[in-house]
C-alpha cells in the first residue's frame, strides 16, 4: 500500500526533530532523494522545518515549533484512525446500519 502524503510528512518531521541530514531523512523516512527534495522544500516554505549548517559543514534540517505542533496533531489523528480501523480486528462486528427491531 502506498503511503499518504501525511505519512511521509510525519516521517520527515519525526526524523528532523533532533536535527538530521537529508541522507538520514531519506533513509529513516524511506524516501528517494527526488521526493525528499520536494517535501523538504515545501516543509521549509511552510515553516515546518528549518535548515542550518551543522558542525560537519553539512545541511541539518530541524523541525520547528510549528512543525512539532503539526507532528503532535498528526500523531494524535493517526492513533484515532488506527483505533477506528482496528475495531474489526478485535472481533467486534462493524455494521453499516445498526439492526433495529421491527417497529410497526
Give the CATH number, domain containing residue 36. Answer: 1.10.10.10
| Domain interval for residue 56 | 5-77
Residue 47 has pLDDT above 70, yes or no: yes
Overall domain count for the chain:
1
The pLDDT value recorded for residue 85 is 84
CA distance 17 to 65: 10
Report pTM: 0.79
In a domain, 98, yes or no: no
In a domain, 9, yes or no: yes
Smallest Cα–Cα separation from 22: which of 62, 67, 69, 64? Answer: 62
Residue 67 has pLDDT above 90, yes or no: yes
CA distance 89 to 76: 20
The pLDDT value recorded for residue 2 is 83
Mean model confidence pLDDT for the chain:
89
The pLDDT value recorded for residue 15 is 97
In a domain, 73, yes or no: yes
The pLDDT value recorded for residue 3 is 83
- Across residues 3-17, what is the average pLDDT? 94
Amino acid at each position: 500500500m502506498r503511503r499518504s502524503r501525511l505519512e511521509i510528512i510525519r516521517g520527515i518531521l519525526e526524523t528532523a526533530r533532533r536535527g538530521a541530514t537529508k541522507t538520514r531523512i531519506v533513509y529513516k523516512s524511506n524516501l528517494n532523494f527526488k521526493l525528499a527534495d520536494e517535501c523538504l522544500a515545501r516543509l521549509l516554505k511552510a515553516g515546518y522545518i528549518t535548515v542550518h549548517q551543522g558542525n560537519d559543514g553539512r545541511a541539518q534540517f530541524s523541525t520547528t515549533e510549528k512543525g512539532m505542533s503539526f507532528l503532535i496533531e498528526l500523531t494524535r489523528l493517526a492513533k484515532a484512525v488506527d483505533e477506528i480501523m482496528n475495531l474489526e480486528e478485535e472481533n467486534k462486528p462493524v455494521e453499516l446500519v445498526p439492526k433495529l427491531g421491527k417497529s410497526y
